[in-house]
Amino acid sequence: MTDANGHNEDDIALAGEYVLGLLPADERRAFEARLRDEPRLRVLVVEWDERFAALADEAGEVAPPPALEARIERRLFGARRRRIPWIGATLGGLIAAAAIVALVFFAPVGPADPSHRAEVASEDAELRLAAALVEATGEMQVERLAGAARPGRALELWFIPEGEAPVSLGVLPEAEDYTVTLPEPLRDRLAGAVLAVSDEPPGGSPTGAPTGDVLATGALDTVG
């Protein structure tokens, strides 16, 4: 049996099984050998990939922990990325360096003016966090004022857009003060958003949604 495009049913099903990763090893190798010579079969594979990719929506979006991007860049590029590549060994560089010195001396201490702040606290106030967000860059400084994870457990920070499911901002590090970057798609959803901290297994929620108790919450309010 062949369809309008001249594909036979066996090949259509085989290509689908191949894309789904279902073929036994020997059949997979035989299929790959044919793929090299049969462009028509490759078209079937691309078609199935395109169609199934739409299903990936079901997996939902989960922000990876903020430190992951730096880990990837270290793996690829070695040392940490230079943040101020425009300082060269030129006269211009000297002027720029002078400007930075001026900035360091005259800029107010702390992050650029935050646009939003949140006090995230448990009911008994044993766990308390303060967060300050700069909307334009998504940089959010998080300070742990009180509390820690239970032994063998972790604390995970969540961003909850109004009326939507929580999005993970990663596990709280041991440090009392750290900065996380709010992913770009979330920066449009600050109005009515809430920050929350949940109790999770080490490494954080395995499902992408909070699995343990929500220990503390706090609304993200605009400053001023």
- Interface ranges with another protein (CB under 8 A): 3-5, 9, 12-13, 16-25, 28, 32, 35, 39, 42-43, 45-47, 49-65, 68-69, 71-73, 75-77, 81, 167, 183-185, 203-208
Q: How far apart are CA 149 and CA 86, in angstroms?
A: 42
Residue 121 or 180: which CB sits closer to another protein? 180
**What is the nearest approach in angstroms of another protein to the Cβ of residue 51?**
6
Pick the closer one to another protein by CB: 59 or 109: 59
Could you count the other beta carbons within 10 Å of the beta carbon of residue 30? 13
CB of 113 to another protein, least distance (A): 22
55 or 103, CB closer to another protein?
55
Least CB distance to another protein at residue 125 (A): 29
Shortest spacing between CB 22 and another protein, in angstroms? 6
Angle of helix 39-53 relative to helix 25-37, nearest 10 degrees? 120
Chain center to CA of 3: 43
Of 60 and 101, which CB lies nearer to another protein in the complex structure?
Answer: 60
Residue closer to another protein by CB (options 167, 215) is 167
Helix axis angle for 9-20 and 39-53, nearest 10°, is: 50
User: Among all chains, which residue has been given the structure tokens 């809430």?
Assistant: 194
Q: How far is the CB of 123 from another protein (least distance, A)?
A: 27
In sequence order, what are the residues at sequence separation of 6 or more whose Cβ sits closer than 8 angstroms to the Cβ of residue 107? none
User: Partners of 159 in the beta sheet?
Assistant: 167, 195
Q: Are 197 and 127 in contact (CB under 8 A)?
A: yes
